[in-house]
Amino acid sequence: MKTTTKTWLVLGLSVGVLLIVMLLSLRFGADQVRTATVWQALTASKTTTLNQQIIRHIRVPRVLGAALIGAALAGSGALMQAVTRNPLADSGLLGINAGAGLMLTLCLAFWPHLSTLQTTGWAVVGTAVSAGLIFMISTARHVQLDPTILVLAGIAISSLLTAISEGLALVLQLKQDLAFWYFGGLGAVSWSQLNLLGPGLVVGLLLTLLLAPQLNLAYLTDDNAQSLGKSLPLLRGLALVCAVILSGISVALVGTISFVGLMIPHMSRWLVGASYRYSMPLTLILGATLTVGADLIARLVNPPHETPFGIIISLIGVPCFIYLARKESTTA
């Protein structure tokens, strides 16, 4: 089978699996509904039953939000891995998400009346500041990024910012309010939030797809890239901006979720090869599938209560991280 044929087949099957998981997520929850009811809720001009209203006004925005956030986190991880040349890079593991978490804590503590859009803007600022600090530390004595120092800097910055966030939450009695962001959850995602923040995620994802064909150049040296007429600093800067936007908005919506951006890019490269032209679209699809599926499992584990879906993803992600870390240490 030709490589391109296999790639398109994998992409097509992945889209099919995503649609099936989304349908299951619309059907199952605190109450199980029939597929016909889901179809009527999606196509009818006006909802007539309680189940149809639940599907249209609660489950549909939740599923769409999960898909967008999963794609955003996976795409952000792939961008970070390309920019840093570090296969273990992920916005959560590198501590970038901790900056958004700190800004959300500050907003909740001192400016509780800020709008959703304003709070999200500050979360993106926190993500950018955290990323800037980590990259400054990683390149302090080196011309190029050192993957080992990058990870250590990420752990240090993440620990510092998380400690500040938890200290403020403890002193100001915000623990209960911030529990949602600590564990990650989609229960609060609504149409109003998607209307405000969804366009930002969509734009970030489109920019990620536009950058994807050029990301393979990130593994070249600056001199080799210049000989091809390409500017690596510009490419890395654009990729980092996209990663920051996607991570910041995602954290504002569902909290600090790790491992999606670590696992999914590796899975995509294993399925369709290392070229970002093909692996990036698959990364976004698989990321959406993972988060929608994890949210579905979180709702079914202990009904009618919800398990934070960040816990489900961590249970999957930690073994994957250990495996990848051992694999990298073996090949190094």
Dihedral angle sign, alpha carbons of residues 215, 220, 226, 228: negative
Q: How much is the pLDDT for 136? A: 81
Instruction: Tell me 139's DSSP state.
Output: T
- Computed on alpha carbons and rounded to an integer, the radius of gyration of the chain in Å comes to 20
Phi and psi at residue 10, in whole multiples of 5°?
-65, -45
d(CA 155, CA 148): 11
Q: How far is CA 231 from CA 10, 78, 132, 226, in A?
A: 32, 19, 20, 6
- Quick count: other Cβ atoms within 10 Å of Cβ 142? 9
Could you identify the residue written with the tokens 């500017």?
231
Domain boundaries, the chain: 67-331
Per-block average pLDDT, block size 10, for the chain (332 residues)? 78 94 87 80 76 84 92 93 82 78 85 82 86 78 65 83 84 69 71 87 94 83 68 81 88 81 90 90 95 89 77 83 69 54
For residues 272 and 282, the answer to whether their CB atoms sit within 8 Å is yes
Q: How much is the pLDDT for 201? A: 92
State the pTM of this model.
Answer: 0.87
d(CA 107, CA 214): 37
Q: How much is the pLDDT for 223? A: 66
Q: Provide CB contacts within 8 A for 216, sequence distance 6+.
A: 274, 275, 276, 277
Q: How far is CA 83 from CA 87, 101, 109, in A?
A: 10, 23, 34
d(CA 220, CA 158): 29
Q: Is 229 exposed, middle or buried (0-12, 13-18, 19+ CB in 10 A)?
A: exposed
Residue 29 structure tokens = 């929850």
Q: How much is the pLDDT for 202? A: 94
d(CA 261, CA 250): 12
For residues 153 and 93, the answer to whether their CB atoms sit within 8 Å is no
d(CA 239, CA 242): 5
Listed residue (68, 104, 292, 288) closest to 199, CA to CA:
68
Options 1.10.3470.10, 3.40.190.10, 1.10.3720.10, 3.40.47.10; CATH of 67-331? 1.10.3470.10
Q: How much is the pLDDT for 192? A: 85
Residue 324 structure tokens = 């990848």
Q: Provide CB contacts within 8 A for 6, sequence distance 6+.
A: 272
CA dihedral 129, 130, 135, 138 (to 10 degrees): 140
Q: How much is the pLDDT for 282? A: 95
d(CA 269, CA 287): 13
d(CA 136, CA 130): 10
3-state secondary structure (DSSP) of residue 327: helix
Q: How much is the pLDDT for 46? A: 76
Dihedral angle sign, alpha carbons of residues 120, 121, 126, 129: positive
Residue 277 structure tokens = 């032209």
For residues 296 and 21, the answer to whether their CB atoms sit within 8 Å is yes
